[in-house]
């Protein structure tokens, strides 16, 4: 089905941001802006066919520009934390901005969530897709190399939201890109997600210290705490940083084909979400510090949304034995994630 385009608002420099509405034949639809690649709305049916917007977000472009906790956006150049806001690469030291305690979080002060991406609509095998592109210049936010990046969104006939990522660089650099959507399968703004059942197909997690700094080690999941290999209703756990704001190392690892990473079920609505990815890990976040005005003037509170951010080990530049979140000249980056929706 055709993608609809409307003007979303105007930035401080006078340029206009656009809003794109993607639909599939089953009635699902998503709204995505080229400002930050933000998924502003995602409407999926419950077991009776009633649609609800399950994506947390803001009411307007101006609200997003004023600041938000990465609702629905493309996150990079490096999603997650680089420890000590510093790294050394090829004999050169690179200091970064510490915008999260001692660490550099989600690419620094002006990450991919805060830029206007170039947008076009493409046809791929009869499916219209939204193609966003951005050139992240050498030295931006302290990182070496120019990255030319493409993120493509599509709403498929099987009720999957498909996100693909492609990138090349002029110099070796850390690179770890993801989408940072917060979901509530009851509908955004309809209370907490503690009744959701979460399943993550991972036997280990990336260990951190008290500041959330990655320490270059993976530990086995602990039964009754951060083991989600079998479905767990979130209300059954005390949700802390060690089990609800942490990187899970998927058992399948990195793959050329998408692998099943996680499953979420909400019993009240019957909505289900399955996450498939080529990435080797997923950051699970249960909104531990959510405290923000959202859509329709509703104030989002702690645990009112969850995120499953597919990615590699964010601090690979400092701990190369832990992952491959690096991009080198001549080696193109390609990745795919699917958020597939159903109901029972």
Q: Which residues are catalytic?
A: 180, 309
Half-sphere exposure of 295 (CA within 13 A, CB side): 19
Residues 6+ apart with CB under 8 A from 38: 32, 57, 64, 71, 72, 73, 74, 113
CB 250 within 8 A of CB 323: no
SS3 206: strand
Compute the distance between CA of residue 174 and CA of residue 16 in angstroms, rounded to an integer. 30
Structure tokens belonging to residue 173: 């650099």
Compute the distance between CA of residue 127 and CA of residue 291 in angstroms, rounded to an integer. 38
SS3 297: helix
> Under the phi-then-psi rule, with left for phi > 0, alpha for psi from -120 to 50, and beta for the rest, what region is 233?
beta
SS3 117: coil
CB 243 within 8 A of CB 226: yes
Compute the distance between CA of residue 144 and CA of residue 89 in angstroms, rounded to an integer. 9
């Amino acid at each position: 089905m055709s993608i609809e385009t409307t003007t979303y608002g105007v930035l401080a420099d006078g340029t206009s941001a656009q809003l794109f509405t993607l639909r599939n034949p089953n009635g699902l639809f998503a709204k995505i802006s080229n400002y930050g690649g933000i998924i502003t709305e995602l409407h999926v049916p419950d077991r009776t066919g009633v649609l609800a917007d399950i994506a947390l977000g803001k009411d307007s472009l101006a609200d997003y520009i004023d600041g938000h906790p990465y609702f629905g956006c493309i996150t990079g150049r490096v999603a997650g934390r680089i420890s000590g806001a510093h790294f050394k690469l090829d004999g050169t030291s690179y200091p970064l901005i510490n915008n999260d305690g001692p660490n550099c979080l989600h690419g620094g002060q002006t990450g991919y969530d805060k830029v206007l991406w170039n947008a076009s609509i493409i046809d791929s095998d009869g499916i219209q897709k939204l193609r966003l592109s951005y050139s992240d210049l050498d030295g931006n936010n302290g990182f070496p190399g120019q990255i030319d990046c493409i993120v493509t969104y599509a709403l498929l006939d099987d009720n999957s939201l498909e996100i693909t990522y492609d990138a090349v660089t002029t110099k070796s650099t850390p690179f770890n890109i993801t989408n940072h959507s917060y979901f509530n399968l009851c509908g955004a703004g309809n209370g907490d997600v503690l009744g959701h059942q979460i399943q993550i197909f991972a036997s280990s997690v990336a260990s951190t210290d008290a500041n959330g700094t990655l320490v270059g080690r993976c530990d086995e999941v602990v039964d009754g705490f951060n083991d989600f290999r079998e479905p767990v209703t979130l209300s059954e756990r005390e949700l802390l940083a060690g089990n609800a704001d942490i990187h899970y190392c998927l058992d399948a690892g990195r793959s050329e084909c998408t692998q099943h990473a996680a499953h979420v079920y909400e019993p009240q609505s019957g909505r289900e979400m399955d996450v498939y990815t080529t990435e080797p890990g997923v950051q699970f976040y249960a909104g531990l510090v959510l405290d923000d005005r959202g859509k329709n003037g509703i104030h989002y509170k702690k645990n009112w949304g969850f995120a499953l951010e597919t990615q590699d080990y964010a601090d690979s530049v400092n701990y190369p034995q832990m992952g491959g979140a690096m991009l080198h000249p001549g080696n193109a980056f390609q990745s795919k994630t699917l958020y597939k929706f159903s109901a029972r």
